[in-house]
Amino acid sequence: MNYKFGLPVEIIFKCGAVKNINKVIKDNNFKKGILISSERFIKSEYGYEIIQLLNEYIENIHFGISANPTIEDVELTTKAIKDSNVDFVIALGGGSILDCAKISSCMAAMDTNIRYFLENKLEINKNI
């Protein structure tokens, strides 16, 4: 099954799609990114393959996110994104990894933290 689905972000779903990741990076003029995943995934054969594909673009690899991400997970991931000074984020893994990476990329771009964001009921207005 192959399809393309777009919302505010583009999702490409097909066998071997990851092999085109460098094209997506180049097409968007991205320069430097961070990979957010789990330690288990990073150490897997598939994780190794992805790291090799992204080698020239990845500034940092961040892992250690809980199965049900906590505020602290979001804060640490936001810090990793900000400290890496990147223009794109790639998240590989299950829903916890993806959710934490998405909100952390917004917190990093908005230069705020998740506690302030939630307490003040801010709206997301940018992301990395």
70 domain-assigned: yes
Residue type, 87: D
77 domain-assigned: yes
Q: What pLDDT was estimated at residue 4?
A: 60
For residues 55 and 8, the model is more confident at: 55
Q: How many other CB atoms are there within 10 angstroms of residue 64's CB atom? A: 12
- If you average pLDDT over residues 10-38, what whole number do you get? 89
Of 98, 88, 33, the C-alpha closest to 61 is 33
The 10s digit of each residue's pLDDT in 25-51 is 999 999 999 999 998 988 999 889 999
- Return the biggest CA–CA distance within the chain: 43
Q: Tokens for 38, please give them.
A: 């789990």
**102: containing domain:** 32-128
CATH number at residue 104: 3.40.50.1970
* C-alpha to C-alpha distance for 44 and 115, rounded to whole angstroms: 34
The 10s digit of each residue's pLDDT in 89-116 is 999 888 999 999 999 999 999 999 999 9
